[in-house]
Structure 1
């Protein structure tokens, strides 16, 4: 029950931050706060099960959220959990396709899509990935 309340609080907080500050500032904030460059953490079967439980709960929370909670919400919250709680160096990715217009956000671990949420991610042009985005911010 605690995990559901935690995720709901995270979702409400994120939604409010996006509304108040705008997506770009929130994205920068998440990347600068939660990015881990090097980590020796490995994924054991037990950790994978625990992470899957978190993401199943996150899907449920997003489903019952009275406002629209999309893949970007799940990706930002998942990024925060995987980086801060598990120490996994994951990459947050956002891609678009022009025709028909489509956009999606997802999390990669070691270059692979962490969850098979959507088919044909190869058809999307990556416009933001947290690893490159952080390097650009550091150079500015």
Structure 2
């Protein structure tokens, strides 16, 4: 991954951390939804493995970030979603709640596969309550 992309991830983690803290999830999700709708081009030739690789690289930047203990699933999912949609990759950003207990989680899906977490675990544990 290029140095510029790493810096962009670093900055976007700050940006979305502050946006979510100040405005909450709903306005941020609406803004991201508009971003997806404005995207006219869609890459159809990209593989799931390539998108998973991007998410893994994003995580390697996040764990070195000063907000690493605060920028967790929602923040990294929002950053991944934003950057992938800009590249014309049709991904979904989903938020779910755990079945039987109060716990929330967010993740990115591409072609029905969870990208930034364990697919089977997420599908079994969480019920989707919001998505774009």
Q: TM-score range by the shorter chain?
A: 0.7 to 0.9
TM-score (norm 2): 0.78
Aligned residues, how many? 127
Where relative contact order (Cα < 8 A, 6+ residues apart) is larger, the structure is 2
Q: CA deviation at 1:97?
A: 1.4
TM-score (norm 1): 0.74
Q: Summarize the alignment of residues 1-140 of structure 1 with structure 2, pairs less than 5 Å apart.
A: 1-35=3-37, 41-44=43-46, 48-49=49-50, 51-67=51-67, 68-85=70-87, 87-117=88-118, 119-130=121-132
Q: Is the 8 A contact 2:97 2:104 kept in 1?
A: yes
Relative to structure 1, the CA distance from residue 126 to residue 29 in structure 2 (aligned partners, 3 Å threshold; closer, same or farther) is same
Larger Rg: 1
Q: CA deviation at 1:52?
A: 4.0
Deviation by residue 1:23-57 (Cα, 9 ceiling, x = unmatched): 21111111112346886522445x843x4443223
Q: CA deviation at 1:120?
A: 4.3
Query: Which runs of no fewer than 5 residues in structure 1 stay unpaired?
Result: 131-140
The two structures, once aligned, show a CA RMSD in angstroms of 2.6
Q: CA deviation at 1:90?
A: 1.5
Relative to structure 1, the CA distance from residue 35 to residue 112 in structure 2 (aligned partners, 3 Å threshold; closer, same or farther) is farther
